[in-house]
Amino acid sequence: MSGPLLRVEGLVAGYGRPVVGPVSLDVAPGDVVGLWGPNGCGKSTLLNAIADRADLLAGRILRMPGLVIAYQAQQPVRLPSMPVTGRELLRCADASLHDMPLAIDAVLRQRIDRLSGGQYQLLCVWAAIAGRADLILLDEPTNNLDPTREALLIEMLTPSRLARRDASGAQPRPDRGVLVVSHERRFLEDACSRMIEIP
């Protein structure tokens, strides 16, 4: 694979009016790129524009042909009554159970409407990371996470967890990228290969 998975050039985005931009960035295979900035600076809007959920008002978004995107919003949707287990959720997301952290394996048989906020958040992040996506967009993934689960999230974003093995089971290839939004600078410093500040 050559070239970036995603290239953003002079992007201005919003919802009928500008909220963020201009912003330029690349995400290459193997990158974990953090978007940092104060609340209200447009970090989530930038992710939404990349996922076609916000208006592109200026600039360009170039995606690798055939790019598959997984997007996790700040608050993953969970209805008050959802008789679906963690395992069934991962099956619907076509997410692998291989090399799964023990903390996630422990909740697979439970109904997702009975999980704590942190358990559900981590399960949804795993669904994105362990799925078929080439580019993973995570919006404030530390929401509801205690320090132990936040440390586990950082470990889940390491190259060895993100790389997919080929059909022969050979050494994992760095063929995916992550764009992660957070207002927690320390988390981004620990989890990301580089950071971009959104003013």
Give the range of the structural domain holding residue 148, as residue numbers without chain letter: 6-164+174-197
Q: Tell me the pLDDT of the chain averaged across its residues.
A: 89
Beta bridge partner(s), residue 22? none
CATH number of the domain enclosing 70: 3.40.50.300
Whether residue 1 lies inside any domain: the answer is: no
Angle between helices 117-129 and 147-156 in degrees, nearest 10: 0
User: The tokens of 10 are what?
Assistant: 């002079």
Question: What pLDDT was estimated at residue 82?
Answer: 72
**What total of structural domains would you count in the chain?**
1
Whether residue 21 lies inside any domain: the answer is: yes
Question: What pLDDT was estimated at residue 149?
Answer: 92
Cα distance between residue 195 and residue 106, in whole Å: 32
Among candidates 153, 164, 171, which has minimal Cα distance to 131?
164
Higher local confidence (pLDDT), 135 or 172: 135
**pLDDT above 90 for 31:** yes
The stretch 83-102 carries a mean pLDDT of 90
